[in-house]
A and B are shown apart, each in its own frame.
Chain A
Amino acid sequence: MRILILTARLAILVVTVTTAAFAQGAEGAPQGPTFLDALFVFMLATFIGLGVVTRVSRLLHTPLMSLTNAISAIAIVGSIVITGRDHPTYITVLGAIALFASMTNIVSGFMITDRMLRMFKRRDVSKP
């Protein structure tokens, strides 16, 4: 387990570093620093994610998945920007479908996670 996670971390590190080098060398140099920032953020967030999730109780792996499902529907932020700005209609439609899909995931993801978590009780609560 530890070795696998370590390998994953190393792989992410290698990919990040090479992409960063590539991004710097690429023509889009003016935006270079912003992209590098984003890569730093990605790498650190992945480490935090791996650290936090390894400690999640095994009892709760199904709720964990529906919770992260809702969290990754943060794509709603991108969808709002695309839908909301003054763009050609077909762009707005693409954005609105994405917005609908993300909103569905947020609502159903958080609600079903809470519904499942409410069921986990210790003995004293659930008297036969």
Chain B
Amino acid sequence: MRVQIIQLAYLLATGLFVFALHWMNDPKTARRGVISGVIAMATAVVGTLIEPGIVNWGWIAVALVLGFAVGVPLSRVPLTAVPQRTALSHAFGGLAAGLVGTAEYYLWLGQTPENLTAFRMSAITAEIILGYLTFTGSLMAAGKLQEIKWIPQRPVTYPLQNVSNLSLLGIAVFCGVALIIKPVALAFLFPVIIVLALAFGILLVIPIGGADMPTVISLLNSYAGLSAVAMGFVLDNKLLVTAGALDGSSGLILSIIMCRAMNRSFSNVLFGAFGQVKAKATTAESKTVKSETPVGAAQMMEQSNLVVVVPGYGMAVAQAQHRVRELYDQLTKRGVDVRFAIHPVAGRMPGHMNVLLAEADIPYDKLVEMDDINHDMPQADVVLVIGANDVVNPAARHDQASPIYGMPIINADKARVCYAIKRSMNPGFAGIENELYYADQTFMLFGDAKAVVGELVKSLSGPNGGH
């Protein structure tokens, strides 16, 4: 009887998880999705707690309380720190899967070795390899995003990198196969696999630079889900399999979207070490850039019908989103139509810019996807680029020699006038020269994004005596 109740609880939880994701298709219903997810999780936890044979209540209570105590502050981080929080929780997910797999293996090894069937061993091997590599890989990613000093931000590369990484993974898989065949006699291989998986996770993320983080975070998201699926196979628990599969497929789709938005393949992101691609001899002809003062730019925007803002990671770094909101208010007050053009890979994780702008109270119907805004670009009087670089580089359309050739971009060069806020003329993260800055209609606004947007707001509000 109790078993049936538990299974029914799991069934209910599975259904609610699917609804939780379903409701995310619209911002209006999305919060319902969270409620549905919370109910599902509570049902699953209560269902598991009434499982027969649970005796260590003290341990469970302590772990739950500590988890709660750490979880609450982690949910209050500033929104600019959301990418590293996400990476950190992927690390926790991977760690949990790896530890449960380890515990199950040693439990069966010590008590009932006949339970270590070929199928279970395959599942355990998959669980610990995925779990531990997600753990260290995500920790590295979180460290890079948090800009911890001793973790290199730039991609680190060395000769034979891909060959040595892949052979490391190959050895781990080979040990796993050996363990599947002889799970008891070759028990010493188990810790070897753990160490190899931990090392592979670190080495996998070391060569990856900030611009590729959206893809890598999505991929690690997928791995964390798949390790939960493997745990479900080990424990013969269908709720783990379904919930893990939902997470795995979500991560997979996000990775595909990110890759397509950069016109690159998975293998190219993982093994390409983007940041230091061919230090392409930048054409020596001395091109000139024109700069403009904030006052001039403000006057121009004031007289426009349509202003399109293209935000990028630079806006997040400078924490300029609230100033951008003030600019939006000032221009809207004057009847100017202001829209935001969001490139899928702008920022450090999928949807990063949307969340930052929503935080600053910019209505979400003003946040327009790349494909939709590109139709309107020729009608835009002014486009304002804030801390974005590669995603507006016209070279992606026509320069076959450029590393970003073929990447879909926001056509900022099609607008009548373009203002680009930038600290200096140093090329961006990928080290690629951006020809947009040298175009006839482009004017640079040099300085910190927050300060420059603040100046724009001040010159707009000044004459009216506002503020």
Check A70 against B37 for contact (C-beta < 8 Å): yes
Check A108 against B89 for contact (C-beta < 8 Å): yes
Q: How far is the CA of A127 from the CA of B38 in the complex (A)?
A: 31
Q: Secondary structure at chain A's binding surface: helix, strand, loop or mixed?
A: helix
B137 within 8 A of A: no
Q: Which residues of the other chain, A, contact B451 by a CB distance below 8 angstroms? A: none
B150 CB to closest chain A CB, in angstroms?
24
Check B24 against A67 for contact (C-beta < 8 Å): yes
Q: How far is the CA of A63 from the CA of B355 in the complex (A)?
A: 8
Q: How far is the CA of A58 from the CA of B30 in the complex (A)?
A: 12
Check B85 against A112 for contact (C-beta < 8 Å): yes
A125 CB to closest chain B CB, in angstroms?
8
A23, A28, A57, A84: the one contacting B24 at CB < 8 Å is A57
Q: How far is the CA of A86 from the CA of B351 in the complex (A)?
A: 45
Check A121 against B358 for contact (C-beta < 8 Å): yes
Check A23 against B118 for contact (C-beta < 8 Å): yes
- In the complex, which residue of chain B has the Cβ closest to the Cβ of A37? B238
Check B253 against A5 for contact (C-beta < 8 Å): yes
A75, A80, A88, A117: the one contacting B34 at CB < 8 Å is A117
B86 within 8 A of A: yes
- In the complex, which residue of chain B has the Cβ closest to the Cβ of A70? B37
Check A100 against B67 for contact (C-beta < 8 Å): yes
B198 within 8 A of A: no
Q: How far is the CA of A123 from the CA of B66 in the complex (A)?
A: 40
Interface positions of A from 100 to 114, Cβ below 8 Å from B: 100-114
Q: How far is the CA of A41 from the CA of B51 in the complex (A)?
A: 22
- What total count of A-B pairs have CB within 8 Å? 408
Check B218 against A65 for contact (C-beta < 8 Å): yes
B54 within 8 A of A: yes
Q: How far is the CA of A37 from the CA of B7 in the complex (A)?
A: 14
A49, A88, A108: the one contacting B250 at CB < 8 Å is A49
Check A117 against B67 for contact (C-beta < 8 Å): no
Q: How far is the CA of A60 from the CA of B257 in the complex (A)?
A: 13
Check A46 against B54 for contact (C-beta < 8 Å): no
Check B248 against A121 for contact (C-beta < 8 Å): no
Q: Which residues of the other chain, A, contact B24 by a CB distance below 8 angstroms? A: 56-57, 60, 63-64, 67
From B97, B221, B231, B355, name the one whose CB has the most chain A CB atoms within 10 angstroms: B355
From A59, A90, A118, name the one whose CB has the most chain B CB atoms within 10 angstroms: A59
Check A49 against B249 for contact (C-beta < 8 Å): yes
Task: For the complex, count residues of B whose C-beta is within 8 A of A.
Answer: 124
B204 CB to closest chain A CB, in angstroms?
19
A75, A106, A123, A125: the one contacting B240 at CB < 8 Å is A75
Given contacts A68-B221, A77-B44, A99-B60, contact A61 B350 (CB under 8 A): yes
Q: Which residues of the other chain, B, contact A128 by a CB distance below 8 angstroms? A: 329, 332-333
Given contacts A19-B122, A107-B67, A110-B34, contact A52 B21 (CB under 8 A): yes
Q: How far is the CA of A45 from the CA of B99 in the complex (A)?
A: 25
A/B interface sample: 17 pairs, CB < 8 A = A27-B118, A49-B248, A55-B25, A60-B27, A60-B351, A63-B30, A73-B96, A75-B244, A95-B100, A96-B63, A97-B63, A97-B95, A101-B95, A104-B89, A109-B89, A115-B75, A117-B31
Beyond A72-B246, A101-B95, 19 additional pairs, beta carbon < 8 A: A5-B256, A28-B118, A35-B119, A38-B232, A46-B245, A46-B249, A52-B25, A56-B24, A56-B250, A59-B364, A60-B27, A65-B217, A68-B246, A71-B41, A80-B60, A87-B107, A102-B93, A108-B74, A112-B75
